[in-house]
Structure 1
């Protein structure tokens, strides 16, 4: 009896285990593509999220659960001020981006302002300038002592000091705004161009004034774009790391991201860092939920047929003022930063001012051939960007195919998992990845592969948005014909579906390549001396005061990005400026 009692559970457990394994093998055999895709997604997304939750509720040093970490975060003035400062920065940047981008978007999309195509291209082209590179440029331009603008002002006026100090809260808000308003511009201009002309013409014919048409028709139709732009920019502003690291830390104050970074320096306080990450995660979740809820319920549709051509609003003499305003935005956000980076990169000593005698190519020679960290970082950055872009584009295309064709039950879970990293700021994701891959069974910390996983995980949503949009326009008739003729699902996918999705897949690849090449917030926690990337090298050089070398690294980043964008333009045409990031 005793033996029966002891062995029966073992037999039953083995039977159940055998049944589970049998069902798993059966599912893998019948649906290899969806099952493998789902497993890859789960491995990428779930472990970092799980570790964040575990760490934030763990007693420091290990052993037992506690809410004390949250109590510390919510009661310590250092952490509360960092949270409050981040929220203030996010609010200011969101409002300023709307105020700056809306007039320019309206002028480009709806008026007879000259050079509209050029202005649009240059503003959208500002995306090639990552925020930390913009911060470096404005340190060179508006530093309190050596900044070129302040030096010019002192030379002209004889004043003891210049009028601007980029090392301030206002300077930080300005730099982040200049790097993010192009996103709002792209959203607003696209929304304005998609409004049917017939709706506004009908209102005008019925006697409505221009202000009435704007209030009753135009503004409601672009409200979702305005709200979406604000939320997107707000989230980017509170989770960005580069500009605060370069401007806030030297000024003696912290935001959430720099405070988390400080907690992860020696001696590390992993539990407090995870707990401090949670407010950032909660804020992101709430705003994403509000955006989805608002856009889902507040929608406007048109019931007209093919719309007639829109007559641009005649601005008269005001068109030159509008053009001047747009050029001012371009000069401040793109021309000035790129020009000063190029000049400093070509200077023997940027503090000596302009002059032919101060020009040299030695900085490029040193960085490209003599400075080993830069050479290895360039190789690592290109390798990671290519691999991450390829993996994200292929995985996103597979996910889009599985979900759009509803190949298996529960396919709705795949988009949710895919888009989950949207609510994980880069630094927060890095904390989870550090804990996941710095210990057995997958010890990847210290190699470029942990950065590869971070980039694929973080930027997979960008790729998915592009590929899902591409596959949604494909009819299933060709696929059905292929299957009827005996082709396997995999052969149909590789020979028919993927070629037809070429534009969306290429857009996804180029976008992920660009953002991976510029990535800093996750890299700063996951790199080691053997896995540096260009953004880390630039940050180190700037911190050491080696601005000429840092500018060379920045120019290299811009050059590689422009080459890839140029190739993308040749492959997929002018639609490259409309690649989706939201």
Structure 2
């Protein structure tokens, strides 16, 4: 008898069979497990944030924020202020960063390698370092309390220079111009000098050469730097809080913090969602603008030489302006923070200097009896918590980033898994730190089944830190894995090594240098970041960045500046270590 033909499989059945087959592969299992972890760390907090605002008692917050008599002060005016600060930060960062990149890469000014080094330091500092330095110099008597250095020297400081959008935008520009500098300098370093010289031989003016040859090459870097600076300016919390809140200059981030810290969590969560959407739109615009541009080939098989511009009589003025910008954004703020932490009376250099705020004991004559930071148990506890938090997040994000990167780069027979992992791992980059902190409170601030509430614990700080830094860890892991040939791993397979044996014995040692560099950068991010932890840290679980903000808010300027110096030393020291271990010369240092 003829046998019956096998039943035809439906499309759904085929896909199910393929999924079952894929899940028998170790790499696919690893990818599914890491996707589950990313879902818990990234997707679940965002879903919990939205869900909280849609539950009974939270839905009214949407109307309060968008369409009520309170909307003007809750949303529209802070959003306008945020956009104003973002635009000013983007414009200032692009102009200053682009100018310094041109000076360092394209001119022959002596000491330009040192200019390049100093121009990268502000980005390694916490953003509130520059805000505190500005306040120490320009603070006037508008809101009472101690005044700044200039007022103490008899110089009248106008209100618009001491508080509000001008100092907020100026200090954010001084912080984020380093990002534009690095992007534009790398792009300028790839401009072939032979092309520029050939254009000049045809009679083209210097301006036309710059417009038609150099500018198209660096335009994508300029756009990327400007949009990233805009996004950071919109979402930054601590600088508007220090220099704007005293005069009621609110941004979205400060309104969000105020709502949640006063118990108005539903409206705070709605503002968090708004801030996330704004940041995501900015990043999407950045991707569209830079990804859709024409490509300009600057690296070819033929060697090209760098071209330096002879400034002639303009050399000294240009050099003076470049050094002035670097001094005002790097050298002077550092000196102000150190010196102002040593003054007996706040920001008054004529009162004499003392080490009390560093090593002194409890004395009612100083800071209402608070001891120096090196004798203060709370500061020492916060230092230990901060360093331990940075190490734990660096290790956790490093391991998870390596596993995710491995699943992305080594997955075969599956298209959706690597793509999904890549998208989910990138999502935290679109979420401002303070909004991500709010999302973790919404998701883990209450018990979930057998899991107790994590709010106020060290665990929630570590989990939030891993979630916030996973984009950097994944990209570091992917970059390191791209340098490891699959042949090396295939040899281990032939020797009978399993998946985790290969990762531990082959992949990890070969990528250790790149992973360590990425881990150090994650460590620095956690040590200097305030936006992420300002809602999560508690008095029982202090960290240095939050204590700095609290001391500044309470007008304990010397203590705030001293703690900031400690954070800056840790951050800059770790960054320099990472650069040295990375072993890659900066492009503007070549042929110096």
TM-score by length of 1: 0.88
Question: Which secondary structure does the structure 2 equivalent of 1:195 belong to?
Answer: coil
For the residues of structure 2 that align with 1:195 and 1:476, how far apart are their CA atoms? Answer: 34
Given that residues 69 and 271 in structure 1 are in contact (C-alpha distance below 8 angstroms), is that contact kept between their aligned partners in structure 2? no
Given that residues 192 and 307 in structure 2 are in contact (C-alpha distance below 8 angstroms), is that contact kept between their aligned partners in structure 1? no
What residue is the counterpart of 2:405 in the other structure? 400
**More helix per residue: 1 or 2?**
1
Of 277, 283, 295, which aligns to 2:278?
283
Q: Does 1:377 align with 2:372?
A: no
Q: Deviations over 1:322-358 (max 9, x none)?
A: 2211211111111111101111222222344147x42
CA 1:163–1:242 in 2, change beyond 3 Å: closer, same or farther? closer
Measure how far apart 1:269 and its partner are.
Answer: 2.2
Given that residues 106 and 192 in structure 1 are in contact (C-alpha distance below 8 angstroms), is that contact kept between their aligned partners in structure 2? yes
For the residues of structure 1 that align with 2:22 and 2:526, how far apart are their CA atoms? Answer: 36
What residue is the counterpart of 2:248 in the other structure? 252
CA 1:563–1:291 in 2, change beyond 3 Å: closer, same or farther? closer
Gaps of 5+ in 2: 1-15, 142-146, 361-370
Given that residues 264 and 273 in structure 1 are in contact (C-alpha distance below 8 angstroms), is that contact kept between their aligned partners in structure 2? yes
CA 1:275–1:72 in 2, change beyond 3 Å: closer, same or farther? farther
Q: Deviations over 1:67-88 (max 9, x none)?
A: 5355337972102101111011
Of 403, 410, 417, which aligns to 2:424?
417
Given that residues 127 and 239 in structure 2 are in contact (C-alpha distance below 8 angstroms), is that contact kept between their aligned partners in structure 1? yes
CA 1:271–1:350 in 2, change beyond 3 Å: closer, same or farther? closer
* CA RMSD of superposed structures (Å): 2.6
Q: Deviations over 1:257-276 (max 9, x none)?
A: 1111111133x222211222
CA 1:264–1:213 in 2, change beyond 3 Å: closer, same or farther? same
Q: Deviations over 1:219-247 (max 9, x none)?
A: 11111111111110000001001111111
Within-5 A mapping of 1:150-229: 150-152=151-153, 154=155, 165-229=161-225
Given that residues 367 and 552 in structure 1 are in contact (C-alpha distance below 8 angstroms), is that contact kept between their aligned partners in structure 2? no
For the residues of structure 1 that align with 2:45 and 2:460, how far apart are their CA atoms? Answer: 12
What residue is the counterpart of 1:51 in the other structure? 48
Given that residues 198 and 307 in structure 1 are in contact (C-alpha distance below 8 angstroms), is that contact kept between their aligned partners in structure 2? no
What residue is the counterpart of 2:495 in the other structure? 485
Within-5 A mapping of 1:328-367: 328-354=324-350, 357-365=352-360, 366-367=371-372
CA 1:376–1:66 in 2, change beyond 3 Å: closer, same or farther? closer
For the residues of structure 1 that align with 2:587 and 2:296, how far apart are their CA atoms? Answer: 25
Q: Does 1:522 align with 2:532?
A: yes
For the residues of structure 1 that align with 2:401 and 2:26, how far apart are their CA atoms? Answer: 22
Given that residues 430 and 526 in structure 1 are in contact (C-alpha distance below 8 angstroms), is that contact kept between their aligned partners in structure 2? yes
Given that residues 104 and 112 in structure 2 are in contact (C-alpha distance below 8 angstroms), is that contact kept between their aligned partners in structure 1? yes
Question: Which secondary structure does the structure 2 equivalent of 1:108 belong to?
Answer: helix
For the residues of structure 2 that align with 1:372 and 1:233, how far apart are their CA atoms? Answer: 37
TM-score by length of 2: 0.87
CA 1:352–1:283 in 2, change beyond 3 Å: closer, same or farther? closer
Question: Which secondary structure does the structure 2 equivalent of 1:520 belong to?
Answer: coil
Measure how far apart 1:362 and its partner are.
Answer: 4.9
For the residues of structure 2 that align with 1:77 and 1:200, how far apart are their CA atoms? Answer: 53
For the residues of structure 1 that align with 2:303 and 2:274, how far apart are their CA atoms? Answer: 46
Q: Does 1:560 align with 2:570?
A: yes
What residue is the counterpart of 1:3 in the other structure? none
Measure how far apart 1:148 and its partner are.
Answer: 1.3
Gaps of 5+ in 1: 1-18, 155-159
| Aligned pairs, number | 550
What residue is the counterpart of 1:322 in the other structure? 318
What residue is the counterpart of 1:36 in the other structure? 33
For the residues of structure 2 that align with 1:384 and 1:408, how far apart are their CA atoms? Answer: 38
Measure how far apart 1:65 and its partner are.
Answer: 8.4
Given that residues 55 and 270 in structure 1 are in contact (C-alpha distance below 8 angstroms), is that contact kept between their aligned partners in structure 2? no
State which drifts further: 291-300 or 185-194.
291-300
